[in-house]
Structure 1
Amino acid sequence: MNKSVLEIAASTIIAEQSAIGQLVNKLDAEFEKAVDKIHHSLGRIVFSGIGKSAIVAQKITATFNSTGTPAIFMHAADAIHGDLGMVLADDIVVILSKSGESPEIKALVPLVKSMGNCLISIVGNVDSYLAKQSEIIINSYVEKEACPHNLAPTSSTTAQMVMGDALAVCLIELKRFSSGDFAKLHPGGSLGKRFYLTAEDLYKQNATPNVLPKSDLKTVIFEISKGRMGATAVTSENNKLKGIITDGDVRRLLEKSDQLSGIIAQDILSPNPKTISPQTLAIEALELIKNHDLSQLIVIDDEEHFLGFIHLHDLIREGII
């Protein structure tokens, strides 16, 4: 009986999972030596490979750069046609290969060694030409590809990527690379915004609905509707925050009372709203909103003057959520 699509997919995942699991037993003094060498390098890390290994090398290069270890990618085929010129004296060259016997790799290796650069290999065959010529060998051997014909690079390229990630994470720890450092290298992404976007960046884009304590109910409703924050601040004559009235407060009032004449803001305000300073990080504001099941927060200065609102929608728009 033929296997179903789901059975084939499951067997592929199980095969690659098994291959990754066996890599733990291949972590040795050579891996430690590689981490130490890269950690103390004065140059960059030049990743290279051919075929699918080259694609994995590009991914590892990107991971290194984004986590504070300068790296570049050099395709093995292009290297022997001029790109070798990008390798500087203090750079470390890391070559990825399953077999370690590809013609392009065999052509590249002696050139790298003649330049005096340290050569590290992430290789699936520790008896190969590449391994024997390397100063440091990281063993990425897998018993079998997930491909049913044991031909298409599947488990082997996954193993290479995992070893590259293991190197990168070790370096993150050794360099004490923090979330703040990560943010500096990702200023345009939603991840980076979590560490630099503040309430001040957000509230200035919004309306500032506010009423006085003696404002009538009609004024309160108008201000909530006009401001589109789902609430209005209640402030004193000198702009000191007295409380908040949300659209929910107004709805509950309308449900409970038939006599609305004479009701003023002071009668229905919540006197202790959740507030933040302009310097509060957006990610901290999000936690406050989540923990207290809110839709908005009021921004105040050190003297409790009302500055504005930030809304849950602001955080969604900026990709913080």
Structure 2
Amino acid sequence: MSVRQAHDDTTGAKKIVGLKNCLGFRKLPFVAENLEKIRELLMLEASAVERAAGRLKAADADNAVRLLVGCAGKVVVLGVGKSGVIAQKIAQTMTSTGTVAIYLHPSDALHGSLGVVTSGDVIIALSNSGETDEIIAILPALKARKVPIISIVGNLASTLARESDVALDASVDREACPL
């Protein structure tokens, strides 16, 4: 059975993917018919990366790098939701390059796991709004531990950006996906 036939015949498609209760498979668009949409999405993302590079201030980049290079402890990366998924990836990538790094979910930090953060650590906090309740709630405890905070935010006027030692601009003009 061809991919096109599988697309047109949900029974065949279900056999190919091995799912018995595959709902909505027929609604999955055939990729060849959406090539232009895929190209537009890639161009949108490339443009967003180019604008982000243009917004990056040398002093902020330098300060963030100095904090990370001078980190005597570990890098603790925070985020909730999609920012949390990205935070996990950042921590994993840092670990794979030899940097001691962990992901800490801010909700877990609020319920006892904040003890993992010690002096000598550096925090990287990700939040599009910069107002994520769980992150804002742990800022006083992080400040009390005197750990430097690097934030990556979509709003430089936010609480998180203002409370950070370094705030990096991750704002976008338009989301590629409305979800």
RMSD between superposed Cα atoms in Å? 1.2
Q: Report how far residue 6 of structure 1 moved.
A: 2.0
Cα distance in 2 for partners of 1:77, 1:11 equals: 37
Name which of 65, 73, 77 aligns with 2:103.
73
Name which of 33, 36, 51 aligns with 1:7.
36
Cα distance in 2 for partners of 1:43, 1:26 equals: 30
Cα distance in 1 for partners of 2:160, 2:90 equals: 19
DSSP-derived class of the 1:31 partner: helix
Name which of 39, 45, 50 aligns with 1:21.
50
Structure 2 counterparts to residues 183-194 of structure 1, below 5 A: none
2:74 equivalent to 1:44: yes
Q: Deviations over 1:277-310 (max 9, x none)?
A: xxxxxxxxxxxxxxxxxxxxxxxxxxxxxxxxxx
Q: Deviations over 1:218-269 (max 9, x none)?
A: xxxxxxxxxxxxxxxxxxxxxxxxxxxxxxxxxxxxxxxxxxxxxxxxxxxx
TM-score in terms of structure 1 length: 0.44
> In the alignment, what sits opposite 1:169?
none
> In the alignment, what sits opposite 1:64?
94
> In the alignment, what sits opposite 1:54?
84
Residue type at the aligned position of 1:21: E
Cα distance in 1 for partners of 2:113, 2:156 equals: 27
Structure 2 counterparts to residues 73-112 of structure 1, below 5 A: 73-112=103-142
Cα distance in 2 for partners of 1:10, 1:112 equals: 43
Listed as ranges, the gaps of 5+ residues in structure 1 are 153-321
Q: How many residue pairs are counted as aligned between the two chains? A: 146
Residue type at the aligned position of 1:54: G
> In the alignment, what sits opposite 2:163?
133
Q: Report how far residue 27 of structure 1 moved.
A: 2.0
> In the alignment, what sits opposite 1:31?
61
Contact 1:31 1:137 in 2 (8 A): no
TM-score in terms of structure 2 length: 0.77
Q: Which has the higher helix share?
A: 2
Contact 2:118 2:145 in 1 (8 A): no
Structure 1 moving runs of 4+ over 4 Å: none
Identity of aligned pairs, percent?
Answer: 40
DSSP-derived class of the 2:103 partner: strand
> In the alignment, what sits opposite 1:114?
144
Cα distance in 2 for partners of 1:109, 1:79 equals: 11
> In the alignment, what sits opposite 2:4?
none
Listed as ranges, the gaps of 5+ residues in structure 2 are 1-32
Contact 1:47 1:94 in 2 (8 A): yes
Cα distance in 1 for partners of 2:70, 2:36 equals: 46
Residue type at the aligned position of 2:52: L
Contact 1:48 1:96 in 2 (8 A): yes
Q: Report how far residue 71 of structure 1 moved.
A: 0.6
Cα distance in 2 for partners of 1:61, 1:126 equals: 23
Residue type at the aligned position of 2:37: I
DSSP-derived class of the 2:104 partner: strand
DSSP-derived class of the 2:61 partner: helix
Cα distance in 1 for partners of 2:138, 2:47 equals: 32
Which structure would you say has the larger RCO, counting Cα contacts within 8 Å and 6 or more residues apart? 2
